[in-house]
Every structure is written in C-alpha cells, then in structure tokens.
Amino acid sequence: MKQHTTITILTALVTLAVTVTANPPDPANYIGSKMCGVCHKAEASGNQLGKWQASPHAKAFETLGTPAAKEAAKKLGIDDPQKSGKCLKCHSTAYNFTEVVATEKIKVEEGVSCESCHGPGKKYMAKSTMESREKSIAAGMIYPATKTCTLCHNSESPTFKGFNEKEYSEKIAHPNPKVKK
Ligand code: HEC
Ligand code: HEC
Ligand code: HEC
Ligand code: HEC
C-alpha cells in the first residue's frame, strides 16, 4: 500500500514535469468556449464570445465538410477531412495541435476556439487570476496570443496563402473597450 502511494506520487511528479515543459499544452486543462463565455459575452466589455462565434475560426470544422476541403484532401489521399487528424490538427481545438482527439472537454465541432490561442483555461479562469495579466500568464495563459498563430498559419496548410500578423490580427480582433492598453 505504502509503496503504491509512493509510485503514485512519483508518477504524478513525472506527469507534472512533462506538463510544465510540454509543448503543446496539457489537454486536461481545456474548458471549452462556453465556459470562457460566461465572463466574456457582455457587449459592454467587448463580447469576445460573440465575436469569435462570427469569426472564421468558429467555422473551421464546418469548412472541412465543403467540396473545396474534399478536393484538397483527395490530393493527399484523405477521404473525409472531418475525420482526419491530418486536417483536424489545425481545424479543431479538440485535437490540440495533434493528429488525434486530445481532449474530450471540447467538441470537435467547436473548430478553433479561444484556448487554441489563449492556452487551456482551467488554471487561469478564476476571476481573481484573470484580473491580473501576470497571474494569468503564470497559470498558463498565452500572452500575447499572437505567439500561436503560425502553429497553424503556415505552409503545411494545403490552402496557405501567406500570413501577415498585423493584418490577420485586425481581422479577428475582439478587444475589451473598457481595458486601457
Ligand atoms: C470567472 C470569469 C472569467 C472566466 C470564466 C474567464 N475569464 Fe478571461 N477575464 C476575466 C476578467 C474579469 C478579465 C479582466 C478584464 C477583462 O479583460 O475583461 C479577463 C481577462 C481576459 C483576457 C485579457 C488578459 C490580458 O491581460 O489582456 C483574456 C485573453 C481572457 N480573459 C481570456 C479568457 C479565456 C480564453 C477564457 C476561457 C478559457 C476566460 N478568459 C475565462 C474573467 C474571466
Ligand atoms: C485565433 C486566435 C484567438 C481566438 C480563437 C480567440 N482569441 Fe482572444 N485574443 C487573441 C489575440 C491575438 C488578442 C490580443 C491580445 C493578445 O495578443 O493576447 C486577444 C485578446 C483577447 C482578450 C483581451 C481583450 C482586451 O482588450 O483586453 C480577451 C478577453 C479575449 N481575447 C478572450 C477570448 C475569448 C473568450 C475567446 C473565445 C470565445 C477568444 N478570445 C478567442 C486571439 C484569439
Ligand atoms: C489551431 C489553429 C489556428 C490557430 C492557432 C490560428 N488560426 Fe487562424 N485560422 C485557422 C483555420 C483552420 C482557419 C480557416 C477557417 C475557415 O475558413 O473555416 C483560419 C482562418 C483565419 C483567418 C481568416 C483568413 C481568411 O482567409 O480570410 C484569419 C484572419 C485568422 N485565421 C487569423 C489568425 C490569427 C491572427 C491567429 C493568432 C492570433 C490565428 N488565426 C491563429 C487556424 C488557426
Ligand atoms: C498546418 C495547419 C493546417 C492543416 C494541417 C490543415 N489546414 Fe486547412 N487551413 C489552415 C489555415 C490556417 C487556413 C486559413 C487559410 C490559410 O491557409 O491561410 C485553412 C483553411 C482551409 C480551407 C478554406 C480555404 C480558404 O481559402 O479559406 C479549407 C477548405 C481547408 N483549410 C481544408 C483543409 C484540409 C482538407 C486539410 C487536411 C487535408 C487541412 N485544411 C489541413 C490550416 C491548416
């Protein structure tokens, strides 16, 4: 029994070490866009949930069902892009930048949601943490979120047309008008 406990603790420590150094981030810490939206859907503070829902990222899974997607997939010998990790790694947060479903906390249908860019939220989502940028970063929030763009916006994308960070960031901007920069 004692030995078992020691092994469990050792395993936990090893897991922790891997979690801290691993890139991509720990799939266990994803919470899904609805949870972020609990605090980020008020118009007065910028309705980030609504802006994201209207953005191309929210449709990234749907896009894989279009004739254009099937065409692009066929060239790579892929039958159904909505089922292929080779496409979903960049078209769905649930795949967490990998070729397999990495977290059950997020539906594949959500497409590319908040946590692909801001990092998994479980450890920074508390209001008292979120109110401090420093504390949020320490708890795993990725800032600036533009660090993540080129993990997907790169020439591995079969439809890649280039990526201009400034121009692309403006297209998906969802600022909080109340926060002074
Ligand atoms: C319990 C409420 C709450 C939840 C849940 C929450 N946030 Fe926040 N968040 C806040 C508050 C409060 C702030 C600080 C003021 C603001 O920007 O609205 C904030 C700020 C932020 C910022 C700005 C950070 C900065 O320093 O500029 C980002 C990015 C953010 N949240 C993303 C998220 C994401 C992504 C999720 C889900 C994984 C999430 N939040 C969940 C309350 C929350
Ligand atoms: C495609 C990437 C991406 C997605 C998806 C995304 N964001 Fe952001 N978000 C950004 C970038 C870039 C910024 C600008 C600040 C920065 O670089 O971190 C930002 C800023 C914010 C801010 C700070 C606003 C301010 O002015 O202080 C909040 C809050 C936020 N996002 C919440 C969310 C929530 C909630 C979702 C999902 C409903 C979401 N974001 C989805 C990239 C993204
Ligand atoms: C997890 C992968 C992923 C990340 C991270 C990501 N994107 Fe995207 N982005 C996509 C996919 C996939 C599409 C295509 C969505 C569609 O059309 O269905 C897209 C589309 C876009 C578009 C629309 C492009 C067009 O042709 O009109 C813009 C703008 C954009 N992203 C900006 C950003 C910015 C800025 C960041 C970083 C803050 C970012 N993206 C991070 C995957 C990602
Ligand atoms: C490396 C990340 C990545 C991979 C892998 C990926 N995509 Fe994408 N996809 C993107 C991004 C980013 C966009 C936004 C347009 C761009 O490339 O700038 C996009 C856009 C698209 C679009 C919309 C085209 C357009 O011009 O707006 C289709 C269709 C598409 N992808 C199909 C696929 C298919 C099918 C696969 C699998 C064979 C796939 N993608 C794999 C990142 C990726």
Query: Which ligand 2 atom is at minimum distance from the Cα of 143?
Result: 18
Domains of the chain, start order: 31-171 (1.10.1130.10)
- The 10s digit of each residue's pLDDT in 162-172 is 999 999 999 99
Measured by CA distance, the residue closest to atom 19 of ligand 1 is: 130
pTM over 0.75: yes
pLDDT tens digits along 77-106 = 999 999 999 999 999 999 999 999 999 999
Return the sign of the alpha-carbon dihedral for residues 40, 43, 46, 52. positive
Q: Indicate the length of the chain as a whole number.
A: 181
Task: Quote the pLDDT of residue 23.
Answer: 60
Q: Is the CB of 58 under 6 A from ligand 3?
A: no
At 170, the amino acid letter reads E
User: pLDDT per residue over 95-139, tens digit each?
Assistant: 999 999 999 999 999 999 999 999 999 999 999 999 999 999 999
Here the contacts of 94-99 (C-beta below 8 Å, separation 24 or greater) are 96/24, 96/25, 96/27, 96/30, 97/24, 97/151, 97/152, 98/24
Ligand in nearest proximity to the CA of 83: 4
Token pair for 17: 């070490």
Please say whether the beta carbons of 125 and 35 come within 8 A: yes
How far is residue 99's CA from residue 87's CA, in Å, rounded to a whole number?
8
How far away, in angstroms, is 60 Cα from ligand 3 center?
8
According to the model, what pLDDT value does residue 14 have? 46
**Ligand 2 atom 43: the closest Cα is on which residue?**
117
In the reported structure, the alpha carbon of residue 76 is separated from the centroid of ligand 2 by a whole-number distance in angstroms of 33
- Residue 105 CB less than 6 A away from ligand 1: no
Return d(Cα 48, Cα 176) in angstroms, integer.
Answer: 8
